[in-house]
Amino acid sequence: MKIAVLSLMACGACARNLEEACHETGHEIVWSSLDGDTGKPDADVLFIDGAVDFTDHETLEKLQETASAVGTVVSLGSCAATGGFERHVIGMRDPDRYHFTVFPAAKFTDTDYAITGCPPTTDAIAAFLRALDERDEEALRPYKVLSGDYHALKPDLPAPVTGPELPVEDVLLTSNKDLCLGCDLDVIEKDLFCVGCGTCSTACPAMAIVMDEKPVIRQERCIRCGTCFASCPRSFKTTRG
Amino acid sequence: MEIKTVRIPTGTPGDIHAVMEVSDGVIVNAEVCSSTTPLAWETLVLEKHPEFAIVAAERVCAGCDASAGLAVAEAIENALEVQVPDAATEAREALNAANTVRSHATSLLKSDLDLDADALYTVIKAAKKVLHALGRKPDHPPAITPGGLELETIPTAKVENAAKEALETAEKIKDDTTSAVDDLKDEIQAEMNVETYGEPGYKADLTPDDVEIVPPDEFYRMKSALELANNHVALVDGNPTLVGPQARKNLTDHPLDAYTAKAEEIVESLEKIAETAENLDPNADVKTDVEYTSGEGHAAVEAPEGTLLVTIKLRNDRVDEALMVTPSNVKAAVAGRVLKDLEEEHAPTVIKALGLSGRCLTH
């Protein structure tokens, strides 16, 4: 597969891990904004790395132009998928003039898949590339589910869901400090879906989850990347709301 | 005389622009700036828990992530007068060295030099093993915390083996890089008459009193390019000063020597990691309990791309004030001088070698 990378508001870890994964799996990066490539990429898959400031019209145009040229578009990492760390920085305090306007890239262009994580590990990206290469629909399903509206997901179980169902931007603008904005772990835990397996704690890139039979979130370290939700073995028994 | 604003792709996140006055194809005056939207680390950590300041600093730029986290943790410890166990300091030094290996190898991959990618990915893998072992994850290592490291035991054997196994490859990279840089130097005539700051090792003794932070040069405003400049630049002792691998290795004859210095630091860092791991007791205490009170502290760490200074003021368990001076803040001040008298076509190669990141510059 020929791969393109568009880096927006990001620290660069996702793009770096993608490069490492491509080297490992033998895929070629033919176009990268980090290396100065512009225009429409001639590629099979576009990975978008980072969030977008919607007042930055130049970047928005670049995003839409680039995404429209490629058949498969993937949000790479939590900033692209949910706004993640870039957007979360407004979550616990009054927004400053920059972050108030930051949204996940997926809000401005159709995406086919999302790989959450801050950053997604090289192994996780390599596994996705293999699944995509083989068109393994079952393996690709979680990535497809996550590319939609994260907060419109409902667990496919008979018990009622009492967690946040607001669109991401509405939740963030209320600055409700009690809600877990990115990962939906509260939804899983509150409704007794959690079996206390600890997968979320192991997966958390910020060591923000400790286990006390059930996961306890150390809010001071949580970056709202959604890795816990994506890794939870119960969260993917879901349908769109 | 022509004035040009050129975006320089450096392979790093964010944008770097050179605003240049060019005469007959030669740069006579230049400034380097960034239009990247600031993450605004200094403001986003206000009123937050000190641990969040570490997590946030690691996400400014992936190039120096562990070093940024370490600098913030040490500033917090200095503010609270916390004594970190010796083993934790040693392990942190190894962690910082692993960060340097990964960052430098990635930089060499992105350079204009024709180097063996397989060899570079071999040392990257080794560095990731060390980062994972000592930092609990290979990226933005979350084990870094005020008081030491969140580790139950130190996996010394894993760390030592990873470093030793990559050493031979690192030596080959060093030889290849030296040769490739020499070839490229024949094409690009450049000089560097600049002040330098930086010592080999982990901690630096830079203090806030040594650093002056100034807005972008009047030159930007004169040329109506201020909207491009979201960054400030930092002067050390009042002077534009080069930090980073070249300064630490004292290899400042030519800007491309940055790559030679990086290749040398990859070897030295792997040796340092192996030596540290060999001497560390796996069961040594690596964490002191921290009681969050009030205080002000600063710390400076030699990050892969240069000296990184953090000052933090705490009020109980909240951040009251914070300041970060990054390697790119300092190097941006010197970049214009390095471009002076250079042929315009070589500007991208030289700026890329200096290791600037737009994200680092605006943080």
Give the CATH number, domain containing residue B17: 1.10.645.10
Mean pLDDT of the region B186-190: 91
B173 contacts B105 by C-beta, under 8 angstroms: yes
Q: Residue B17 is inside which H or E element, if any? A: strand B17-23
What digits encode the pLDDT tens for the residues B81-131?
A: 999 999 999 999 999 999 999 999 999 999 999 999 999 999 999 999 999
To the nearest 10°, the Cα dihedral for B220, B328, A99, B17?
40
Partners of residue A118 in chain B, C-beta under 8 Å? 59, 140
What is the DSSP secondary structure assignment for residue B239, as one 8-state letter? B
Mean pLDDT, chain B, integer: 94
B71, pLDDT greater than 50: yes
B156, pLDDT greater than 50: yes
Q: Return the minimum-mean-pLDDT range out of A229-238, B157-166, B318-327.
A: A229-238
Range of the domain at B218: 2-362
B211 contacts B300 by C-beta, under 8 angstroms: no
Q: Coil, strand or helix: which one is A27? A: coil
Give the nearest partner residue to B52 out of A36, A53, A221, using CB atoms: A221
Please tell me if residue B143 touches chain A, with a CB cutoff of 8 Å: yes
Find the residue in A nearest to B125 (Cα). A20
Residue A152 identity: A
Helices (H) and strands (E) in chain B, counts: 12, 12
Q: Is the peptide bond before A119 cis (omega within 30 degrees of 0)?
A: yes
Q: pLDDT category, B227, cuts 50, 70, 90?
A: low
Q: pLDDT category, A145, cuts 50, 70, 90?
A: confident
DSSP conformation letters of B314-340: EETTEEEEEEEE-HHHHHHHHHHHHHT
* B125 or A155, greater pLDDT: B125
Mean pLDDT of the region B138-148: 97
- Preferred mutation among A5, A7, A14, A16 to probe B, highest tally of B CBs within 10 A: A16
Select A2-146's CATH number: 3.40.190.10, 3.40.50.700, 3.20.20.70, 2.40.10.10: 3.40.50.700
* A215 or B121, greater pLDDT: B121
Partners of residue B115 in chain A, C-beta under 8 Å? none
Max Cα-Cα span within chain B: 66
**Burial group, residue B212, by CB count within 10 angstroms (0-12, 13-18, 19+):** middle
Cross-chain Cβ contact A13/B65 below 8 Å:
yes
What are the phi and psi torsion angles at A189 (to 5°)?
-70, -45
Please tell me if residue B361 touches chain A, with a CB cutoff of 8 Å: no
Please tell me if residue B39 touches chain A, with a CB cutoff of 8 Å: yes
Q: Residue A159 is inside which H or E element, if any? A: none
Find the residue in B nearest to A55 (Cα). B37
Q: Tell me, what's the pLDDT at B247? A: 97
Gap between the Cα atoms of B217 and B229, Å rounded = 9
How close B289 gets to chain A, by Cα (Å)? 17
Cross-chain Cβ contact B37/A98 below 8 Å:
yes
Find the residue in A nearest to B41 (Cα). A89
How close B252 gets to chain A, by Cα (Å)? 26
* B346 or A86, greater pLDDT: B346
A157, pLDDT greater than 50: no
Q: Residue A98 is inside which H or E element, if any? A: none
Cross-chain Cβ contact A13/B56 below 8 Å:
no
Could you count the other beta carbons within 10 Å of the beta carbon of residue B206?
Answer: 25
Partners of residue B48 in chain A, C-beta under 8 Å? 92-93, 220
Q: Return the minimum-mean-pLDDT range out of A227-241, B83-97, B290-304.
A: A227-241
Contacts (Cβ under 8 Å, ≥6 apart) of B335: B18, B30, B31, B32, B351, B354, B356
Please tell me if residue B134 touches chain A, with a CB cutoff of 8 Å: no
Q: Tell me, what's the pLDDT at A226? A: 78
Let me know the angle formed at the C-alpha of B349 by B344 and B353, rounded to the nearest 5 degrees. 130
Q: Tell me, what's the pLDDT at B218? A: 65
Q: Coil, strand or helix: which one is B309? A: strand
How close A75 gets to chain B, by Cα (Å)? 16
Q: pLDDT category, B48, cuts 50, 70, 90?
A: confident
Mean pLDDT of the region B69-81: 98
Could you count the other beta carbons within 10 Å of the beta carbon of residue B293?
Answer: 12
What is the DSSP secondary structure assignment for residue A103, as one 8-state letter? E
Fold of A150-240: Alpha-Beta Plaits (3.30.70)
Based on the structure, what is the number of domains in chain B? 1
What CA–CA distances, in Å, run from B337 to A193, B137, B242, B255? 61, 39, 10, 11
**B18 alpha-carbon distance from chain centroid:** 20
Q: Return the minimum-mean-pLDDT range out of A193-197, B71-75, B332-336.
A: A193-197
Please tell me if residue B287 touches chain A, with a CB cutoff of 8 Å: no
Please tell me if residue B55 touches chain A, with a CB cutoff of 8 Å: yes
B58 contacts A206 by C-beta, under 8 angstroms: no
Cross-chain Cβ contact B12/A122 below 8 Å:
no
DSSP conformation letters of B157-224: HHHHHHHHHHHHHHHHHHHHHHHHHHHHHHH-------EE---SSSB----GGGEEEEPSPHHHHHTT
Q: Where are the domains of chain A?
A: 2-146, 150-240
Proportion of chain B above pLDDT 90, given as a percent: 84
Gap between the Cα atoms of B194 and B63, Å rounded = 24
**B162 alpha-carbon distance from chain centroid:** 23
Contacts (Cβ under 8 Å, ≥6 apart) of B301: B67, B70, B71, B74, B96, B202, B203, B204, B307, B308
Please tell me if residue B47 touches chain A, with a CB cutoff of 8 Å: yes
B3, pLDDT greater than 50: yes
What digits encode the pLDDT tens for the residues A11-52?
A: 999 999 999 999 999 999 999 999 999 999 999 999 999 988
